[in-house]
Amino acid sequence: MMRTRNKLAQTVAAPAIVLIAILLYSLSTPSNYSETGFLFFYPLYSDYSIQCLYTSGTWMWVFLVVWTMAAFANKMFNETTYKLLTGSSLYAYLSHYFFIILIAVMIIRPYKITFIPALIIEIVLTNSAILISYIILNFIYELFIPPKVKAPQEGTEEERASLLKN
């Protein structure tokens, strides 16, 4: 997967692919205010064609983020931070909406906070709640199931590559 992506990224077609992706994403981002659903109505629009555009735009965004993160951010820079961020990503995906609704119902709506401050509060508190609850749940999990101890690897990557080559 990485080899194919790297080959494609080094061709002349790479800038054109980026421009086409941006165009497709802009076309698939619904920005209308008619035929919208309500808060718990997915994908938030009742018109079928707009639903298709919205969903395909979401998948294009996911593809772009996965490609970008695989190319640039999938390196261990700090073991603790790397474990926390990679380990909590699925948990964040599964639990983020719960914390968004909880903060909106308990803080944003009762105090009638306007959009920009509410957005900042939501982002900060949601991410904090996700990380704190993940750390607590992971600590409890590791009490019952201790993490595996990695065996030391023999040789460097270059040595292993030369052994495989030989």
Same domain, 37 and 82: no
Task: List pLDDT tens digits, range 33-58.
Answer: 677 666 555 666 777 887 788 888 88
Gyration radius from the chain CA atoms: 22
pLDDT per position as a tens digit, 63-84: 878 877 777 777 788 888 888 9
Q: How many domains does the chain have?
A: 2
Query: pTM above the 0.75 mark?
Result: no
| Same structural domain, 40 and 89 | no
- Report the percent of the chain where pLDDT is more than 90: 33
User: Looking at the structure, do residues 23 and 47 belong to the same domain, yes or no?
Assistant: yes
Q: Do 30 and 99 belong to one domain?
A: no
Buried b (16+ CB within 10 A) or exposed e, 95-112: beeebbeebbeeebeeee
User: Do 51 and 111 belong to one domain?
Assistant: no
What domain range is 129 assigned to? 76-147
Please give the full DSSP string across 51-84, using - where no structure is assigned: HHHHHHHHHHHHHHHHHHIIIII-S-SSHHHHHH
